[in-house]
Amino acid sequence: MSEINKQSSVVPMAIVATLFFILGFATWLNGSLMPFLQQILQLSPFQASLIIFSFYIAVTFTALPSAMIIRKVGYKNGMALGMATMMVAGLLFIPAAKTQVFALFLFAQLVMGAGQTLLQTAVNPYVVRIGPEESAAARVSIMGILNKGAGVVAPIVFTALILSDFEGFVGKELSQTDIDAMANGLILPYLGMAIFIGILGFAVTKMPLPELIDDDVDEQKPGQVKEALSHPSLALGIVALFVYVAVEVIAGDTIGSFALSLGIEKYSVMTSYTMGCMVLGYFLGILLIPRVLSQQTALTISAVLGCVLTLAIVTGSNETVFISTLFGLKSVLPDTLLLIAVLGFANAIVWPAVWPLALSGLGKLTSVGSGLLVMGIAGGAFGPLFWGLASGGVKSAEAQQMAYIVMLPCYLFILFYAVKGHKMKSWK
């Protein structure tokens, strides 16, 4: 890509930061939406997991088409198109809420995932190019914190705007009047979000955001994918990212559904706990890697911590509140819920640690390898789905608690990759 003109990067940086926050907000809003729809539509855990599946499966299958669109219309227009698609998705929630047809909600999620993918594909290159190359890593970390920070804010906003008028509805047999009132509570917030994203998308086309020009597009040659996958460190890295995104989304998006099964009134805000722990993990990663810990060591610690927490979750008591008492938390929550939230801390540095290990030594195949690694995002579609299946379609808290065991093989594979997988140079 050609160099961006030497001009102040303050305004472009602010625009990109805003877009990363919106991406995070739209992504982690799912953690509140999933248990909310589970409550008003009387969904099983498996049916509720389809809400997340619809979003992430769109992210997976629209990644390559998004890249093709951006090559045709440019990065700046690609951002606007991505936000326009997200605006349409927000508007689709209005008829879905009015009719309370589950399939419409799933379609709206599919469209939201497609728009989010297009926006993300367009905005990511700017993080590297809107400032000096030597400070690119710092900008990537800042954008990551903004993305996860939005995950803290989104559930709080959702709870304040949508659930504040429905105190005492958890554990209650809802009448059709109650269900209608809760469903209609989605209309104004999603309409407002659609309007805001639409206005911002139009504004981006008028803002002083430099266009990136592909001066030297390196066309993918036949056989490059096969050659790249002949490197075990890359092939296993793709699997590691797949299972990582699976556990990240399980920890972030199913915690609300589990809280609902436990009768927690503020179930929709639980994703904020997980994302708060994840932001803390990001900050520690920035401080400690590579000054104190190597990427390999940090990945190993994360995997071991994930295994320990998973076992503690499935064997823990839903009655005890020892952790809340120990740390003096205002909200008295069962230990199992807080342990799920702490998974956010364990997961925080897995993504940035796996990438360099997987791409090491690829040389000219690095760009192909990067494209293949992005496919690991598909794990976000299947993680909650496996959790829903493991619960046996039962709404009981005990069944959902035991379903978290699906995370154990995921963390064990990440541990294998950290200890041995990334070092493998041959399949022999």
Q: Spell out the domain ranges in the chain.
A: 8-207, 222-422
Tokens of 364: 């000219």
- Report the predicted TM-score, pTM, of the whole model to 2 decimal places: 0.87
Domains 8-207 and 222-422 alike in fold: yes
Q: Which residue ranges in the chain fall short of pLDDT 70?
A: 1-9, 128-138, 211-222, 322-331, 393-394
Q: How far apart are CA 147 and CA 159, in angstroms?
A: 19
Neighbours of 280 (CB within 10 A): 15
Residue type, 158: F
Q: Tell me, what's the pLDDT at 349?
A: 86
Q: Tell me, what's the pLDDT at 329?
A: 61
- DSSP character for 159? I
Residue type, 425: K
Q: Tell me, what's the pLDDT at 16?
A: 85
What is the helix, strand, coil percentage profile of the chain, to 5? 80, 0, 20
Q: Tell me, what's the pLDDT at 98?
A: 94
Residue type, 56: Y
Q: How far apart are CA 255 and CA 267, in angstroms?
A: 8
Do 148 and 275 touch, CB atoms closer than 8 A?
yes
- DSSP character for 7? S
Q: Tell me, what's the pLDDT at 88?
A: 97
Q: 294: Cβ–Cβ under 8 A, 6 or more apart, which residues?
A: none
Q: How far apart are CA 201 and CA 206, in angstroms?
A: 9
Sign of the torsion formed by the C-alpha atoms of 31, 37, 39 and 43: negative
- Give the model confidence (pLDDT) of 317-341 as tens digits: 888 776 666 656 666 788 899 999 9
From 130, 106, 90, select the one nearest 53 (Cα to Cα).
Answer: 106
For the stretch 185-204, what's the b/e string if a residue is b when 16 or more beta carbons lie within 10 angstroms of its beta carbon? Answer: bbbebbeebbeebbebbeeb
Whole-number Cα distances in Å, 367 to 165, 224, 231, 370, 378: 50, 10, 14, 5, 19
* Secondary structure element (H or E) that encloses residue 140, with its range: helix 136-158
For 222-422, the fitting CATH number among 3.90.1150.10, 1.20.1250.20, 3.40.50.11540, 3.30.830.10 is 1.20.1250.20
Q: Tell me, what's the pLDDT at 135?
A: 60
Q: Tell me, what's the pLDDT at 4?
A: 44
Do 198 and 84 touch, CB atoms closer than 8 A?
yes
Do 400 and 393 touch, CB atoms closer than 8 A?
no
Q: What is the CATH number of domain 8-207?
A: 1.20.1250.20
